[in-house]
Structure 1
Amino acid sequence: MANVPKIGKAIYKGPSIVKEILYGIALGIAVGGLWKMHHWNNQRRTKEFYDLLEKGEISVVAEDE
């Protein structure tokens, strides 16, 4: 039994500060990009609405029947 390998115990070292910062930065950039795309989409829709309104293709006044 002298050749039996010793099994090391897993030692918890705690969170890696550098890893946590990098994860936070990556998550912030990803969520910020999605938020920015959402706002660009709203801006595009608003611009299209006012362009159509200016051309007279749509109206915000309800037509009488």
Structure 2
Amino acid sequence: MAVHKMITPKAVQATLNTPSVVKEIFIGITLGTIAGGMWKMHHWNEQRKARTFYDMLEKGEISIVAEE
């Protein structure tokens, strides 16, 4: 004899409120792209600072030797 379980309203509500896999993937890709873009902008800023430092060092505008 097979026992049939009835779906309760709470189970239906829980099923309807579960996040979509496609939506989760889209949100993950979006957040990853934003975080990657921010990291890349930080990296470019650090490169610019280093390039400026070495340009000034080469021109003689600054020195890394402490004056006595």
Q: Do the two structures share a fold, i.e. TM-score over 0.5?
A: yes
Distance in 1, Cα, partners of 2:22 & 2:33: 17
Does residue 1:12 correspond to 2:23, yes or no?
A: no
> 2-side partners of 1:26 and 1:58: how far apart?
43
Aligned mate of 2:41, from 16, 37, 52: 37
- AA of the residue aligned to 1:42: E
CA deviation after TM superposition for structure 1 residue 12, in Å: 1.7
More helix by share: 2
Task: Give the number of aligned pairs.
Answer: 57
- Across the aligned residues of Structure 1 and Structure 2, the Cα RMSD in angstroms comes to 1.5
Specify every segment of 5 or more residues in structure 2 that has no aligned partner in the other structure, as ranges: 1-8
Q: Give 1:15 deviation, angstroms.
A: 2.2
The CA distance in 2 between the partners of 1:56 and 1:62, in whole Å, is 14
TM-score normalised over the length of structure 1: 0.81
| C-alpha distance in 2 between matches for 1:27 and 1:58 | 41
- Whole-Å Cα distance in 2 between the matches of residues 21 and 53 of structure 1? 48
Identity of aligned residues (%): 61
Q: Distance in 1 between matches of 2:47 and 2:14?
A: 49
